Amino acid sequence: MRVLVAGATGVVGHPLVGALRARGHEVSALVRAESRDRAPEADAVVVADALDREGLLSAVSAARPEVVVHQMTALRLLPADPVEAFALTARLRTEGTANLVAAARAAGARRLVAQSVAFAAAPAGGPVLDEDAPLYVDAPDAGWAATVRAVAELERQVLGGGPDLAGVVLRYGTLYGPGTGYARIGGTGQRVLTGKFPLPEGGSGITSFVHVVDAVGAAVAAVESEATGVFHVADDDPAPAAQWLPHFARTLGGPPPRTIPAALAPRLLGWFMTHQLTAARGAANDRARTELGWKPLRPSWRDGLGRE
């Protein structure tokens, strides 16, 4: 099939281009002009910025894709400028997605596969939730509420393409592996290694991890499948912070995380990470297994988190 990958220089997008080509697909990599030299090897490289509607429309039309994959975020900016990273990512999820849906339609694509997040669910029920659980659009933190609303808008647009443009939303768990924040040299990895990532007392928030190879594998499955809808892409081992954080520190060779009173956590870790470590629910992957025919090659973070 002819497939276009938007976000082809990214942590997931870059290896995805190679994985799709290895399966025999003809792949166009969509990259921004300033990132041209980081483009993966592809059948074609097309240049456009997703926030430039006209430019995107003509670049995507030239590639004539049957399937379009959306792996765009601005989270690369997180370490340098978190406010800008989230603001730009929200714009990519709303405006960028609208432009990509229009471009996919204009190009005659019949399928759109987009990256979303598995940890945007409201913390009710559980401890492990399926895809029908409501998103945390009314989170008490204005920043996280804005992020979740942008995620909800991305999903609405991707799934609302009508019968001519079938939509698939892949809600990735917390990514680990090469290039991610949870790599040994990633931002979170380094904080854990140097003892700067404390554990709020109890540590009962659940994280569902997913290795980059499995995020890529799920995107390949979604491209090739006829299934539509929302899918959690996460490993088989959702775990509380009280388990994964000390394990991560040990594997990295760092000190055990310092336990802090929960009330202190927002000041030391920020609202989102406190929520993640104390209240978040995990994500069940049964639907992706059954309907996409996908299963994780890395079923548990316990065998890999902190090793690369």
Ligand X SMILES: NC(=O)c1ccc[n+]([C@@H]2O[C@H](COP(=O)([O-])OP(=O)(O)OC[C@H]3O[C@@H](n4cnc5c(N)ncnc54)[C@H](OP(=O)(O)O)[C@@H]3O)[C@@H](O)[C@H]2O)c1
Q: Are 229 and 160 in contact (CB under 8 A)?
A: no
Binding mask 125-164 for ligand X (x = CB under 6 A): ----------------------------------------
Our finding on whether 74 is near ligand X (CB under 6 A) is yes
- Interface mask toward ligand X for 84-123; x: CB under 6 A: --------x----------------------x-x------
72 part of the interface to ligand X, by CB under 6 A:
yes
Q: For the CB of residue 11, give the shortest distance to ligand X in the complex, in Å.
A: 4
Q: What is the DSSP letter of 194?
A: T
Q: Is the separation of the CB atoms in 271 and 143 below 8 Å?
A: yes
Assess 180 for contact with ligand X (CB under 6 A).
Answer: yes
Per CB under 6 A, the segment of 58-66, 74-82, 240-248, 281-289 that binds ligand X is 74-82
Q: Which residues pair with 45 in a beta bridge?
A: 29
For residue 108, what are its two tokens? 């005659």
Which of 264/297 has CB closer to ligand X? 297
Cα-based distances in Å from 1 to 41, 164, 215, 216, 243 = 17, 17, 20, 17, 42
Distance CA 150, CA 270 (A): 20
Tell whether residue 167 is a contact of ligand X (CB under 6 A).
Answer: no
- Asked if 172 touches ligand X (CB under 6 A), the answer is yes
Cβ neighbours for 83, distance < 8 A, ≥ 6 positions apart = none
Q: Is 193 a binder of ligand X (CB under 6 A)?
A: no
The verdict on 40 binding ligand X (CB under 6 A) reads no
For 50, residues 6+ apart whose C-beta sits below 8 A from its C-beta are: 6, 56, 72, 92, 96, 99, 100
Using the contact rule CB under 6 A, the part of the chain among 19-27, 48-56, 235-243, 253-261 near ligand X is: 48-56
Closer by beta carbon to ligand X, 11 or else 192: 11
Q: How far is the CB of 272 from ligand X (least distance, A)?
A: 9
CA distance 196 to 120: 25
Evaluate whether 182 touches 176 at the Cβ level (below 8 Å): yes
Q: Which residue is nearest to ligand X (CB)?
A: 10
| 30 touches 8 (CB < 8 A) | yes
* Minimum gap (Å) between residue 93 Cβ and ligand X: 11
Stretch that binds ligand X, among 31-39, 241-249, 252-260, 279-287 (CB under 6 A): 31-39
| Residue among 67, 76, 75 nearest 93 (CA) | 75
Chosen residue from 51, 62, 252, 262 binding ligand X by CB under 6 A: 51
Beta bridge partners of 215: none
Would you tell me which residues interact with ligand X (CB under 6 A)? Answer: 7-13, 32, 35, 38, 49-51, 71-76, 92, 115, 117, 172, 174-175, 179-181
